[in-house]
């Protein structure tokens, strides 16, 4: 009897040990999954190209205390709904100036941010966002920081693939990379999508040396031989956009439909363009910020593109729309066009040349 008890006690302690080891493994896995700079995946759907809609300059929350402010946000929701229903994208990028923070008199601007995300979330489409110069611009007596906005978004939305980015780059937030994976192998990248915070609002409008270093280090690590195409998103055009901007009419090789203002570039160039130019894998950069520009022009071996003003908020009354990207694998191709609120489509361009 005593022998049997000892045997049972042995089995019991063995079980305890196994469960302790299992618990440790689970904890370790959770820690790994929680790492902020982990490379997250989105996957191309079998048998169809991967489509991305860019929503730029929505400027939610303007004049929330009057009639016209909330009404224009309803109009912006209609723009996004129309584009999402016409184009049925697999992914959405919120390309900055999601809200006009300097015009929001409530403590938590996240409410307006959340409203801007709602058409995408309601349709079950995953998304990623970057900051523009208005998202944490200072209001006289309140303000929601970039970190607060991003924590609010990622903490409440399983569909959000946005990230705060490495801590050493803060207060520059929204610096991260996503892997677009092949439909038949989640481990095989079709493209890397880079998101960078081009500043503005609470600090200068610039992509810093530290961000450039982060880009260099990350791209060397995950794509050392530049074999996988890279697509770049940020809000404020770099100074290089000036050098390719069409004067007057938009003529080939540039493609677009409105060229109604001057490029309003970042304050300075701290090496990011050189870094991109050194990588044959870079296909295109997409920015917002200038509501009156929607062109793509070639620059060295890749393209510099504006999105299209999507919101009824912000300056300008040019018709609203969204730039669409279409990526195919085997062979890789990157095509883009602009899809308008009324369903019209124009300015198609092939960007992987």
Footprint of Zn ion (CB under 5 A): 57, 97, 314
State how far the Cα of 76 lies from the Cα of 341, in Å rounded to an integer.
9
Determine which helix (DSSP H) or strand (DSSP E) holds 238, and give its type and residue range: none
State in angstroms the smallest separation of the CB of 36 from Zn ion.
27
Comparing CB distances to Zn ion, the nearer of 189 and 200 is 200
The smaller minimum CB distance to Zn ion, of residues 86 and 134, is found at: 134
Q: Give me the residues paired with residue 327 across strands.
A: 50, 334
Residue with tokens 């095989």: 188
Q: At closest approach, how far in Å is the CB of 133 from Zn ion?
A: 7
- Distance in angstroms (rounded) separating the CA atoms of residues 39 and 321: 30
Distance between first and last Cα of the chain: 81
Q: Can you read off the two tokens belonging to residue 306?
A: 């504006």
Distance, CA of 189 to CA of 327 (rounded, Å) = 12
- Output 126 or 313, the one with its CB closest to Zn ion: 313
For Zn ion, the closer of residues 73 and 97 by Cβ is 97
In angstroms, rounded to a whole number, what is the distance separating the alpha carbons of residues 290 and 271? Answer: 22
With 0-12 / 13-18 / 19 or more C-beta atoms within 10 angstroms meaning exposed / middle / buried, residue 251 is: exposed
How far CA 196 is from CA of 80, 315, 338, in Å, comes to 23, 24, 22
- To Zn ion, the closest distance from the beta carbon of 221 in angstroms equals 33
- Give the residue with the Cβ less far from Zn ion, 83 or 177: 83
Q: Which is nearer to Zn ion, 97 or 341 (CB)?
A: 97
Closest distance between Zn ion and the C-beta of residue 100, in Å? 8
Alpha-carbon distance of 233 to 248, in angstroms, equals 26
Kind of pairing between the strands at 50-55 and 185-195? unpaired
- Return the half-sphere exposure (C-beta side, CA atoms, 13 A cut-off) of residue 48: 9
User: Which CB sits closer to Zn ion, 97 or 205?
Assistant: 97
Residue 98 beta carbon to Zn ion: minimum distance, rounded to whole angstroms: 10
Task: Report the nearest approach of Zn ion to the CB of residue 328 (Å).
Answer: 31
Sequence-ordered strand ranges (E) for 158-218: 176-182, 185-195
State the minimum distance, in angstroms, from the CB of residue 309 to Zn ion.
7
């Amino acid at each position: 009897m005593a022998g049997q008890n000892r045997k049972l006690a042995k089995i019991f302690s063995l079980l305890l040990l196994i469960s302790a080891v299992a618990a440790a493994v689970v904890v370790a896995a959770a820690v790994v999954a929680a790492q902020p700079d982990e490379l997250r995946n989105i996957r191309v759907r079998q048998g169809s190209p991967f489509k991305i809609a860019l929503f730029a300059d929505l400027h939610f929350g303007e004049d929330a205390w009057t009639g016209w402010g909330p009404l224009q946000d309803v109009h912006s929701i209609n723009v996004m709904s129309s584009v999402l229903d016409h184009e049925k994208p697999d992914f959405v990028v919120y390309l900055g100036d999601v809200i006009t923070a300097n015009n929001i008199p409530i403590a938590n601007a996240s409410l307006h941010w959340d409203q801007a995300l709602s058409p995408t979330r309601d349709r079950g489409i995953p998304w990623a966002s970057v900051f523009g110069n208005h998202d944490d611009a200072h209001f006289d007596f309140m303000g929601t920081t970039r970190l607060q906005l991003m924590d609010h978004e990622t903490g409440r939305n399983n569909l959000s693939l946005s990230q705060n980015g490495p801590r050493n780059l803060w207060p520059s937030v929204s610096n991260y990379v996503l892997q677009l994976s092949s439909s038949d192998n989640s481990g095989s990248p079709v493209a890397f999508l880079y998101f960078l915070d081009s500043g503005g609002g609470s600090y200068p409008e610039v992509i810093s040396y530290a961000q450039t270093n982060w880009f260099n280090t990350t791209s060397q690590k995950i794509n050392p031989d530049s074999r996988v195409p890279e697509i770049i998103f940020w809000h404020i055009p770099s100074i290089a956009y000036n050098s390719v901007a069409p004067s007057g009419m938009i003529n080939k090789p540039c493609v677009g439909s409105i060229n109604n203002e001057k490029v309003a570039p970042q304050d300075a160039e701290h090496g990011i363009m050189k870094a991109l130019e050194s990588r044959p894998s870079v296909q295109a950069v997409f920015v917002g910020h200038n509501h009156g520009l929607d062109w793509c022009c070639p620059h060295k071996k890749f393209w510099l593109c504006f999105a299209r003003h999507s919101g009824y908020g912000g300056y300008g009354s040019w018709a609203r729309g969204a730039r669409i990207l279409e990526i195919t694998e085997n062979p890789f191709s990157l095509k883009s066009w602009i899809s308008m609120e009324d369903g019209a489509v124009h300015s198609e361009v092939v960007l992987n040349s």
